Structures are given as C-alpha cells and as structure tokens.
A = this chain, B = another copy of it.
Amino acid sequence: MVRAAVMLGNGQDVEVRDIPEPELEPHSALLDVELSEVCGTDVHLLHSRLSGVPYPIIPGHVSVGTLSKIRGSIVDINGLPLEEGDRVTFLDVHETCHSCWYCLVARASTRCPKRKVYGITYGLADGLTGGWAEKLYLKPGVKCLKLGDTPFEHFMAGGCALPTALHAVDQAQIRIGDTVLVLGSGPVGLSAIAFAVLSGASRVLCIGGPAPRLAIARQMGALQTCDIFTLNEDERLEWVRERTGGRGADVTIEAAGVPAAAVQAMRFTRDAGRVVVVGQYTDNGEVALNPHLDINRKHLEVKGCWGSDFSHFYRAVQVMAHETQSKAWIALTRKKFSLDQANEALAVVAGGKLGKALIDPRL
C-alpha cells in the first residue's frame, strides 16, 4: 500500500489514505516521491475554487523523486532510456494531443483542450496522480527529465511558478538595458523578477506586498519595490514614472491577479512598450479600460500568457541546474512537511509568508 494525502474540496481537511500500488501498464513507471510542492493553486483546490477538478484528488503537481519501477522501456527527450534508480522530475501537464487544431495549426499547445494535469485535473480515480504520496504513477508518455547532479531541493526551490514565469518572460522579449516592472510579488511575480534579471534587464521594479514579500522581491533581484498598500494607483504611476524618465517601464509583467492590475500594467508602461498579462489565472471579474488611452494611442503591445509547455519546463530545469542562474531561487526559505502535516502546509501557504512549502512523504 502507498500512503497519499487526499483532498476532497469544499474546504474539508486533507486526509491521508492507503492506496494500493497499481499494476504498471507497458511504458509506465512508478516514482518514489522525494519532494512535492504545496502552492497557491493547492489552496484554491482545497476550497473548490477551480472548475473541472475530479475530487477526490491527490494534490502535488510539481514533484521530484527516484524511478523505482519501470515496465518496458521509457525514454527521455533525447531518446535515451530511463532506468530504475534515475533521479527525475516530470512535466505535470500530460495528454497534450498534438493532433488538434490548436496544437497543430495554431501551434498553441497550451490551448489544447485535451491537456490533463497531475494533481489538478487527474483525480484519485486515475490512480496515484499527485505528488503528495509516497509513490506516483507515471503514465505512458509522461515526459521525464533527469536531474543529473541538481539536488532535489534545488530544483524544487522554483516550483510550478518557474515554467509559467519563464513563459511570461519569453513573451516579454526583454532586451539588455530595459527597465522591467513586475506587478505582484507572489510566486509567479518573484520568479518573473529573477528571470527578468537573467534576461538582461538593467532595472527590475516591483509593485506588490506586503512588506515581507517585497523583501523577497528584492532578494530575487528587484532594484526597488513599492508597497501597494501604501500608495494609491496615481501615486504608484508617479512612482514608476520617477524611475523611468517620466515614460513608464519598457516592459511590464502583470502577475498580481486582480483585474485592476491588468489595466494598471498598461498605464505603467511607456508608449510602444509591452505588457504581459500572466497573473489573471482565475476569473475575478471586470475592470474599466480606456482603449484609446491605454492601448491605441500608446501603441502598446499586450500579450496574454497561459500556462507553459515542455520547452519552458525543460529550460527551467536548465536554469535550476546552473550554479549562478539558480541562486536567487535557492536562497529562498523553504520548509518541509510530512504527509500528515499537509493541512498545516496549506495553512502556511495561504498565509503567504513562506518562500516555499514542500511535502516530503518520507517524513
């Protein structure tokens, strides 16, 4: 039997259950989980704020561990065989079809309607499909990446915000010397700060809060931060302009999540600049937009950024394996929780003060 933390939704406590170890299909594998992330999405899941979730589920979409059993052969991205004992992570998004109009004609696989996600849209009925468990079932075709020498904890320091933020920074097309503004100091915003620095931004500014999160933002590379709770919108605009020759940021990455931030991102950006809207992951309603002032006359480019694909995940793994590039993330405070402490971990994440909470099922 495998111990797993099971989530029922509607705010009910997560409970630890014993699940039978599955029969392996051909080209599937079992992962002995070492660490799995507890992230803000898990708090949303706890309270049933996302649609299409097949409760009960085993949470934990980003995880690392050791391959303990393989049926038949499975290969990595280079066609090389994976073997029992290999230390790996895997892309939580699975079943991207590569056969539909969005995958093949629009080349926008993040909009493929077939996508399933470990720990979110797979449920207990699909087997051991979340990382908050001693073992996780890697279905045939799940994309694994060997971690090489990267310590488990180092890769997990970034977590699931990593590929999303990397995708957003890709879209931002930052040039060396740019001033980049990040709205929001949650996990995606913090990773976006670090990626913006890695992409050559000469100055990264962050508007967010509360104060402890801004301290982390500066640690991730923000040159200056502005506490959203101390300045109103006009004052924040002024704060940005004072730091950008009166023009606004070259590029703004919205990772705040409140609708107003999407339009503020446009207003805080210079004419002919670029805005990436990545924080509006859930529907929080509407905001007033003046399309003449905010888009047209500004000659502004605005890019919605949804999810991530294997390339973002792959490159995030490169970064976390790199001694210098990964520094900002590895320096974040982390805390490990056992399966039995899952509810406690969720409470800590909901409180927003911790750098990174991890489930270690061996505790």
Q: Tell me the bound Cα distance from A299 to B109 in angstroms.
A: 11
A interface, size bucket? 35 or more
Give A85-114 as 1s and 0s: 1 = Cβ < 8 Å from B's Cβ atoms. Answer: 000000000001011111011111011000
Check if A280 is an interface residue, CB within 8 A of chain B. yes
Q: Would you call B296 and A278 a contact (CB within 8 A)?
A: yes
What's the nearest-Cβ distance from chain B to residue A135, in Å?
Answer: 24
Check if A245 is an interface residue, CB within 8 A of chain B. yes
The interface stretch among A18-26, A54-62, A317-325 is A317-325
Q: Would you call A296 and B304 a contact (CB within 8 A)?
A: yes
Q: Would you call B292 and A289 a contact (CB within 8 A)?
A: no
Check if A227 is an interface residue, CB within 8 A of chain B. no
Q: Would you call A315 and B176 a contact (CB within 8 A)?
A: yes
A212: chain B residues within 8 A (beta carbon)? none
Which residue, A101, A143, A298, has most C-beta atoms of chain B within 10 A?
A: A101
Check if A282 is an interface residue, CB within 8 A of chain B. yes
Q: Would you call A177 and B315 a contact (CB within 8 A)?
A: yes
What's the nearest-Cβ distance from chain B to residue A48, in Å?
Answer: 18
Q: Would you call A245 and B101 a contact (CB within 8 A)?
A: yes
- For window 233-253 of chain A, which residues contact chain B by CB distance below 8 Å? 245, 247
A283: chain B residues within 8 A (beta carbon)? 290, 292-293
Q: Would you call A304 and B311 a contact (CB within 8 A)?
A: no
Q: Would you call B272 and A106 a contact (CB within 8 A)?
A: yes
A306: chain B residues within 8 A (beta carbon)? 296-299
Interface pairs (24), CB distance under 8 Å: A77-B99, A77-B101, A78-B245, A104-B310, A105-B311, A107-B107, A111-B271, A177-B314, A177-B316, A199-B200, A203-B322, A259-B291, A262-B296, A278-B296, A280-B291, A282-B292, A283-B292, A285-B290, A287-B289, A295-B302, A295-B304, A297-B306, A299-B306, A301-B301
Q: Could you list which residues of chain A lie within 8 angstroms of chain B, going by C-beta atoms?
A: 75, 77-79, 96, 98-102, 104-108, 110-111, 141, 143, 166, 169-170, 175-177, 195, 198-200, 202-203, 245, 247, 254, 259, 261-263, 270-273, 277-293, 295-307, 309-311, 314-316, 318-319, 321-322, 325
Taking A79-B100, A262-B295 as given, write out 17 further A-B residue pairs in contact, using a Cβ cutoff of 8 Å, ordered by the A residue number: A75-B99, A77-B101, A101-B245, A104-B143, A105-B311, A105-B315, A108-B272, A166-B176, A170-B175, A176-B325, A177-B315, A198-B200, A200-B325, A202-B325, A254-B291, A280-B291, A299-B306
